[in-house]
């Protein structure tokens, strides 16, 4: 009898110690419902399918779904309520994007995308599974919509109410400058988010028999390489290093039940890496002729030479009086477009075809440097717009009495039979890299160039 009590006591003590060391994860404050996370993620995934070179390969998809299915068995893959309880599963999916930049990202509510270069960079299946488990954890902990909620607490409730009555969620968020573009708040996490995603992700992969240390090893390996390789910048800026990832996961492993781990559970990792290395570039011409037929014509009315003032949080400018402002004067982001300048693309997502977008970009490296930061932004824009290319070399100009760069880019226009010209103007500011993109179909660009120059001359910073 005594012996049993003693054993029980030791058991309880061990349990109490372990619980003291286990993090109590809680989802952050959020204006979105879980259902809205799912809706937003599905709309955004459709947008990614349209804009990025998503690979449709049976072997590859089967392989990733096998890993995903293993990871979904973990209780840590389940939704997390504010009282810490877990229930259902978000509708997870994994897809591959053909891209030479090492990257992976999760959209709210479940869709996960992995670049081919990341699969090539992984050393074993456990590292790849680690990335998937980490991304699943951002979804479970709802980091995207938590970040969006914190940054837009004034404007969001009304926009979400609009989305409730059947409007596109992505369309609503576009009004306050939240999209999938450069440095989107939806894809950019804090160091605390990272620590939580590592923690929860380590539990998910360990439950499936993968060594959770490989998750941390992979992140640290990328971090060590990042000084030399621009291709890594976006991943590491979206998933900032919380420091000591390996140490943190090692500590966590001490409190996990002992398990034997294998590096390659399916035995197919080598085959899949081979397959990825030999994928041919998915069609450059993704737009088929039938897509082309469904595109609208460019707006009839030219922008007016009569300009009116717009005052944002840290800058002001003047824009053509027949254009419309989409955005919030308290924000640092605004879209000003011609009537019919925002086009619903084939999948119902809004795209600016004729107008002006102004925002700030947070460069991956600190210490403002106009040339370097502009290059980082251009890389980002190209990543989110398949087929975008640079025209002339960047040119030095002045905007609001500050040195600025003018970079000309070309892309596919949402208007029928049109190429698009994107004149990108960047200025290094304390808030980040200020940028204005003038977007117009090429056939119109010559005619509106003077108006764009008038708008640029009107820019003031404060
Ligand atoms: Zn992350």
The answer, yes or no, to whether residue 112 has pLDDT greater than 80, is yes
pLDDT confidence of residue 224: 81
Q: Is 369 left (phi over 0), alpha (psi -120 to 50) or beta?
A: beta
Query: What's 165's DSSP letter?
Result: T
Longest Cα separation, the chain? 94
What is the 123 CA–ligand 1 centroid distance (Å)?
19
How would residue 361 be classed by pLDDT, with cut points 50, 70 and 90? confident
pLDDT confidence of residue 214: 94
pLDDT confidence of residue 302: 82
DSSP assignment string, 320-340: ETTEEEEE-TTSS-EEEEETT
Q: How far apart are CA 254 and CA 238, in angstroms?
A: 29
Top pLDDT among 16 and 307 is at 307
What is the 407 CA–ligand 1 centroid distance (Å)?
31
What is the 343 CA–ligand 1 centroid distance (Å)?
32
CA 67, chain centre distance (Å): 22
Contacts 24+ apart (CB under 8 A), 443-446: 443/298, 443/418, 444/298, 444/302, 444/354, 445/421
**Domains in the chain: boundaries:** 24-277, 290-461
Bridge partners of residue 114, in order along the sequence: 96, 104
pLDDT confidence of residue 281: 66
pLDDT confidence of residue 225: 78
Q: How far apart are CA 68 and CA 215, in angstroms?
A: 15
What is the 303 CA–ligand 1 centroid distance (Å)?
42
What is the 196 CA–ligand 1 centroid distance (Å)?
9
What is the 105 CA–ligand 1 centroid distance (Å)?
8
What is the 389 CA–ligand 1 centroid distance (Å)?
29
Q: How far apart are CA 326 and CA 375, in angstroms?
A: 27
What is the 193 CA–ligand 1 centroid distance (Å)?
7
Give percent of the chain with pLDDT exceeding 90.
Answer: 36
What is the 140 CA–ligand 1 centroid distance (Å)?
12
pLDDT confidence of residue 20: 38
SS3 398: strand
What is the 363 CA–ligand 1 centroid distance (Å)?
17
The answer, yes or no, to whether residue 290 has pLDDT greater than 80, is no
What is the 322 CA–ligand 1 centroid distance (Å)?
42
Count of H helices and E strands in the chain?
16, 19
Class of 290-461 in CATH = alpha beta
What is the 233 CA–ligand 1 centroid distance (Å)?
13
Average confidence score pLDDT of the chain: 83
Q: Nearest to residue 52, comparing CAs of 234, 275, 190?
A: 234
pLDDT confidence of residue 175: 79
pLDDT confidence of residue 273: 94
What is the 253 CA–ligand 1 centroid distance (Å)?
19
What is the 75 CA–ligand 1 centroid distance (Å)?
19
Q: How far apart are the first and last CA of the chain?
A: 78
The pair of three-digit structure tokens given for residue 143, joined into one six-digit string: 């980091």
What is the 100 CA–ligand 1 centroid distance (Å)?
19
Distances (CA, A) of 358 to 153, 207, 279, 317, 361: 21, 45, 37, 10, 10
What is the 198 CA–ligand 1 centroid distance (Å)?
7
Distances (CA, A) of 144 to 29, 86, 92, 137, 139: 11, 19, 15, 11, 8
The answer, yes or no, to whether residue 198 has pLDDT greater than 90, is yes
Q: How far apart are CA 306 and CA 3, in angstroms?
A: 91
What is the 227 CA–ligand 1 centroid distance (Å)?
19
Q: How far apart are CA 281 and CA 115, in angstroms?
A: 13
Q: Nearest to residue 74, comparing CAs of 120, 13, 132?
A: 132
| Average pLDDT rounded to a whole number, residues 313-337 | 82
What is the 67 CA–ligand 1 centroid distance (Å)?
19
Query: What's 306's DSSP letter?
Result: -
What is the 138 CA–ligand 1 centroid distance (Å)?
7
The answer, yes or no, to whether residue 346 has pLDDT greater than 60, is no
Give percent of the chain with pLDDT exceeding 70.
Answer: 86
Top pLDDT among 263 and 192 is at 192
What is the 404 CA–ligand 1 centroid distance (Å)?
33
pLDDT tens-digit series, residues 217-260: 999 888 887 665 566 677 788 888 888 889 999 999 988 888 88
Residues 6+ apart with CB under 8 A from 295: 343, 414, 415, 416, 417
What is the 96 CA–ligand 1 centroid distance (Å)?
17
Residue whose pair of structure tokens reads 């419902």 in the numeric block: 33
Top pLDDT among 49 and 447 is at 49
| Average pLDDT rounded to a whole number, residues 76-102 | 92
What is the 239 CA–ligand 1 centroid distance (Å)?
4
What is the 135 CA–ligand 1 centroid distance (Å)?
6
Query: What's 299's DSSP letter?
Result: P
The answer, yes or no, to whether residue 329 has pLDDT greater than 80, is no
């Amino acid at each position: 009898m005594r012996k049993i009590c003693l054993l029980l006591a030791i058991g309880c003590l061990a349990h109490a110690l372990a619980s003291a060391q286990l993090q109590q994860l809680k989802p952050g404050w959020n204006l979105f419902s879980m259902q809205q996370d799912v809706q937003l993620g599905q709309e955004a995934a459709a947008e990614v399918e349209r804009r990025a070179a998503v690979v449709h390969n049976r072997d590859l998809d089967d392989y990733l779904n096998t890993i995903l299915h293993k990871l979904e068995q973990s209780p840590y893959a389940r939704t997390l309520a504010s009282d810490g309880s877990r229930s259902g599963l978000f509708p997870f999916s994994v897809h591959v994007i053909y891209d030479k930049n090492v990257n992976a990202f999760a959209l709210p509510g479940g869709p996960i995308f992995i670049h081919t270069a990341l699969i090539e960079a992984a050393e074993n299946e456990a590292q790849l599974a680690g990335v998937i488990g980490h991304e699943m954890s951002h979804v479970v902990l709802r980091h995207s919509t938590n970040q969006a909620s914190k940054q837009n607490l004034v404007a969001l409730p009304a926009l979400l109410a609009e989305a409730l009555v059947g409007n596109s969620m992505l369309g609503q968020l576009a009004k306050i400058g939240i999209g999938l573009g450069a440095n989107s708040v939806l894809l950019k996490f804090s160091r605390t988010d990272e620590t939580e995603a590592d923690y929860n992700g380590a539990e998910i992969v360990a439950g499936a028999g993968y060594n959770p240390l490989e998750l941390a090893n992979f992140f640290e390996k990328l971090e060590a390489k990042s000084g030399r390789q621009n291709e890594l910048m976006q991943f590491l800026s979206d998933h900032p290093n919380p420091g000591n990832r390996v140490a943190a996961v090692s500590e966590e492993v001490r409190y996990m039940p002992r398990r034997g781990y294998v590096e390659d559970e399916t035995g197919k990792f080598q085959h899949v890496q081979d397959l990825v290395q030999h994928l041919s570039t998915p069609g450059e011409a993704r737009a088929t002729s039938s897509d082309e037929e469904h595109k609208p014509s460019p707006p009839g009315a030219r922008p007016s030479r009569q300009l009116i003032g717009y005052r944002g949080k840290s800058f002001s400018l003047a824009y053509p009086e027949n254009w419309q402002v989409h955005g919030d004067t308290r924000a640092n982001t605004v879209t000003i477009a011609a009537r019919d300048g925002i086009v619903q693309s084939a999948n119902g997502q809004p795209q600016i075809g004729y107008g002006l977008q102004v925002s700030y970009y947070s460069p991956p490296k600190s210490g403002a440097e106009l040339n370097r930061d502009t290059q980082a932004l251009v890389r980002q824009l190209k990543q989110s717009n398949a087929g975008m290319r640079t025209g002339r070399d960047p040119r030095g100009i002045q905007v609001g009495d500050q040195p600025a760069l003018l970079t000309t880019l070309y892309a596919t226009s949402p208007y029928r039979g049109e190429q698009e010209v994107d004149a990108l103007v960047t200025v290094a500011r304390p808030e980040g890299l200020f940028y204005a993109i003038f977007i117009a179909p090429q056939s119109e660009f010559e005619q509106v160039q003077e108006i764009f120059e008038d708008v640029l001359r009107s820019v003031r910073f404060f």
